[in-house]
């Protein structure tokens, strides 16, 4: 009996199921990760203001180090997903192991550099004399967990490439719970203070890395994949990740420029900017979950030599991105009377915040398209284009943002500049997606 071809509606339903099944757990894992530092802040905050200030400075340095190496997750997801699509699970896991070994090497290098330079790094951030010793203590202990944190990034990329986003969710939730329990026990029970908070986080991160490695090693043994480091494979993983590193550094530079411009406007403006940036980042988690689904699904379709399927799911994910952006923007406007007082009771900050917040809300559909197409091109292994596109975006944004205070513009003008930045990203990504040049089928790009 000849099976009738699937209708467009049935195809959309299939794509929707794939996107939701991957995006929802990915969203949970993304939200769980920032909660680590929030728990640390809540517990350390009761020790005193200098301790909390020290944690804040060390936390920025640690989060920067991790975000710079997020390409370990992105590049690994794309490479593994292609192998999965081609039906070669042994090669997929072998590819993932190369990413994990690269993570260990990079983590060791970060530890070797940061341990002796910790006091200098803290001083660069302008820590006070009372906060400096706490920042150095927390940084020197927490940095020991960087190799584990990078392994978590790479291993989560392996599992996402294998179309598994549930395990990263379980590991993230488990790690969050262990981190909270250890922090309470070591900070107060053992009387270790801020050092106890750092050790609790390191132990939790090592536990998460161990959990991931157990899953990956079992998969490797089941499919006969080698666990030994392979110099050629590690070098290939580094080469695939290099353009994504450029992309990430360019994006971090954009965010740093925006914060520096806001700081020049005054205390109320920088306070309002920090609140908006926190909300913007929170909404980014929801949109990034769809991007993660895109990385995994697109890589699998291209690995299976299904170019038409890749185009169809790309179109469907863009629709998801636009719809998600509209919903998030509407929620931001409707719920603003509820959450703004939670951040600040200062009426000057609130008045500064509101018009800029409306700009952010209106721009969310643009953000939805940007995040989705970013994920699609990452899944396709189109890193070099993403790097050049982000450098172009930085070149457009920087002079516009720096002119805002010169021309007398306020925080709302700065966030219009941020909207311009996202629009440039959307145009460059849309042109690439429309061209079809990202569609390169096969087990490797």
Longest Cα–Cα distance in the chain: 80
Full DSSP string of 104-119: HHHHHHHHHHHHHHHH
How big is the CA angle at 260 (ends 254 and 266), to the nearest 5 degrees? 140
Q: Quote the CA–CA distance of 423 and 393 in Å, as a whole number.
A: 9
Residues shown for the chain: 445
Q: Please report the pLDDT score of residue 80 as a whole number.
A: 92
Cβ neighbour number for residue 347 with a 10 Å cutoff:
9
Please name the helix (run of DSSP H) or strand (run of DSSP E) that holds residue 263, with its range, or none.
helix 231-265
Q: Cα 94 vs. chain centroid, distance in angstroms?
A: 24
CA 395 – CA 336 distance, rounded (Å) = 33
pLDDT value, residue 290: 87
Residuewise pLDDT in 10s, the chain (445 residues): 344 455 677 777 887 888 888 887 887 777 766 666 667 777 877 788 788 778 777 877 887 777 888 888 888 998 999 999 999 999 999 999 999 999 999 999 999 999 999 999 888 766 678 888 988 999 999 999 999 999 999 999 999 999 998 898 899 889 888 988 998 899 888 888 889 999 998 999 999 999 999 999 999 999 888 889 889 989 988 998 899 999 999 998 898 888 888 878 887 787 788 778 878 887 888 888 888 888 999 999 999 999 999 999 999 999 999 999 999 999 989 988 887 777 667 788 788 888 999 999 999 999 999 999 999 999 999 999 999 999 999 999 999 999 998 888 888 999 999 999 999 999 999 999 999 999 999 888 7
Q: Residue 153 to residues 39, 77, 250, 290: CA-CA distances in angstroms? A: 20, 10, 20, 17
3-state secondary structure of 441: coil
* pLDDT for 104: 95
**For residues 332 and 337, what is the distance between their CA atoms, to the nearest angstrom?**
10
**What is the pLDDT, as a whole number, of residue 6?**
57
pLDDT for 36: 66
- DSSP reduced 3-state for 4: coil
For 424-438, the three-class secondary structure string (H helix, E strand, C coil) is HHHHHHHHHHHHCCC
C-alpha distances out from residue 201 to 35, 191, 339, 377, Å: 11, 16, 29, 34
Residue 408 φ then ψ, to 5°: 85, 15
Cα separation, 401 vs 108, whole angstroms:
37
Distance CA 71, CA 433 (A): 21
> Does the CA dihedral 71-77-78-83 come out positive or negative?
positive
User: What radius of gyration do the chain's Cα atoms show?
Assistant: 22
pTM for the whole structure = 0.86
Predicted local distance difference test score (pLDDT) of residue 117: 92
pLDDT value, residue 33: 64
Identify the pLDDT of residue 422.
96
């Amino acid at each position: 009996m000849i099976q009738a071809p699937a209708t467009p509606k049935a195809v959309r339903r299939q794509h929707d199921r794939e996107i939701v099944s991957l995006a929802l757990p990915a969203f949970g894992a993304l939200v769980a990760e920032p909660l680590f530092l929030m728990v640390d802040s809540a517990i350390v905050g009761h020790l005193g203001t200098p301790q909390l200030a020290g944690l804040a400075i060390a936390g920025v340095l640690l989060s920067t180090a991790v975000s710079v190496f997020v390409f370990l997750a992105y590049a690994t997801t794309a490479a593994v997903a292609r192998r999965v699509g081609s039906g070669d699970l042994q090669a997929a896991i072998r590819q993932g192991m190369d990413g994990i070994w690269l993570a260990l090497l990079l983590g060791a290098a970060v530890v070797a550099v940061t341990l002796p330079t910790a006091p200098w790094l803290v001083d660069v951030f302008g820590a006070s004399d009372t906060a400096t010793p706490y920042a150095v203590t927390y940084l020197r202990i927490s940095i020991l967990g960087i190799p584990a944190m990078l392994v978590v990034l790479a291993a989560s990329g392996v599992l996402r490439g294998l179309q598994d986003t549930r395990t990263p969710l379980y590991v993230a939730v488990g790690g969050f719970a262990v981190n909270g329990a250890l922090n309470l026990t070591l900070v107060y029970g053992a009387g270790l203070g801020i050092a106890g908070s750092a050790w609790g986080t390191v132990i939790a991160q090592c536990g998460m890395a161990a959990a991931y490695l157990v899953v990956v090693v079992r998969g490797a043994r089941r499919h006969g994949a080698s666990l030994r480091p392979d110099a050629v494979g590690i070098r290939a993983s580094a080469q695939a990740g290099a353009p994504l590193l450029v992309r990430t550094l360019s994006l971090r530079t954009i965010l740093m420029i925006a914060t520096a411009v806001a700081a020049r406007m005054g205390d109320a403006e920088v306070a309002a900017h920090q609140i908006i940036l926190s909300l913007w980042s929170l909404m980014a988690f929801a949109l990034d979950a769809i991007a993660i689904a895109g990385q995994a699904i697109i890589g699998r379709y291209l690995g299976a030599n299904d170019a038409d399927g890749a185009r169809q799911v790309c179109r469907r994910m863009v629709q998801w991105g636009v719809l998600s952006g509209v919903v998030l923007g509407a929620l931001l406007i409707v719920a603003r009377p509820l959450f703004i007082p939670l951040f600040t009771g200062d009426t000057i900050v609130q008045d500064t915040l509101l018009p800029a917040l409306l700009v952010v809300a209106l721009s969310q559909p643009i953000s939805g398209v940007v995040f989705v197409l970013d994920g699609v091109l990452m899944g396709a292994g189109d890193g070099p284009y993403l790097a050049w596109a982000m450098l172009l975006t930085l070149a457009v944004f920087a002079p516009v943002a720096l002119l805002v205070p010169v021309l007398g513009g306020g925080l709302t003008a700065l966030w219009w500049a941020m909207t311009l930045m996202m629009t440039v990203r959307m145009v460059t990504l849309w042109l690439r997606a429309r061209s079809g040049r990202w569609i390169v089928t096969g087990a490797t790009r």
